[in-house]
């Protein structure tokens, strides 16, 4: 009987958390909209439930909106990142939207390496000078 009572008490304590309403819902999504719910960014879908702490990222040309539990709608524009908060901006929540800047990456290759022309001049010219100086020397040096 004690086991059954403990089970009922455990379910009563944790059931509200398991069925808690999401902080927000992705109300609309047009273009490439991604969401990270703890592991990695994946493609988001309209109607997707979002918890506090989830991150929504809009790529170039994308538009979306979040609808919070209180009904407040937050429009989002391209090249932005927002972390979902428990309180909407209508309810006084501090929603911060970061603007994403384009980043270019380049593989390391010949174009990315510094020029070595100066190094050739530093080492090749003295070597040529030594060779030129030795070519006119008729002395046969004998080592002791």
76-101 pLDDT, tens digit per residue, is 999 999 999 999 999 999 899 999 98
- Indicate whether 49 belongs to any domain: yes
- Indicate whether 12 belongs to any domain: no
- Indicate whether 133 belongs to any domain: no
**φ, ψ at 107 (rounded to 5°):** -65, 150
- Indicate whether 85 belongs to any domain: yes
- Indicate whether 124 belongs to any domain: no
Cα 143 to Cα 71, 84, 140, distances in angstroms: 97, 83, 10
User: How many structural domains are present in the chain?
Assistant: 1
Please tell me the distance from the alpha carbon of residue 22 to that of residue 47, in angstroms, as a whole number. 11
Q: What is the mean pLDDT of residues 43-58?
A: 97
Q: Is the pTM of this model over 0.85?
A: no
Q: Could you read off the pLDDT of 96-140 as tens digits, one per residue?
A: 999 998 777 666 665 555 555 555 555 555 555 555 555 555 555
- Indicate whether 30 belongs to any domain: yes
Determine the distance from the C-alpha atom of residue 122 to the mean position of all C-alpha atoms in its chain, rounded to a whole number.
Answer: 43
């Amino acid at each position: 009987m004690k086991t059954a009572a403990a089970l009922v008490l455990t379910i009563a304590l944790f059931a509200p958390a398991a069925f808690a309403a999401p902080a927000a819902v992705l109300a609309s999504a047009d273009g490439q909209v991604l969401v990270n719910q703890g592991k990695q960014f994946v493609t988001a879908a309209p109607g997707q439930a979002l918890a506090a702490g989830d991150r929504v990222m809009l790529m170039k040309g994308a538009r979306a909106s979040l609808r919070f539990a209180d009904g407040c709608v937050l429009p989002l524009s391209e090249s932005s990142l927002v972390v979902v908060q428990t309180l909407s901006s209508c309810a006084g929540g501090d929603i911060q939207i970061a603007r994403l800047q384009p980043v270019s990456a380049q593989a390391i290759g010949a174009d990315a390496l510094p020029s070595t022309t100066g190094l050739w001049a530093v080492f090749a010219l003295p070597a040529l000078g030594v060779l030129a100086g030795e070519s006119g020397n008729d002395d046969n040096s004998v080592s002791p």
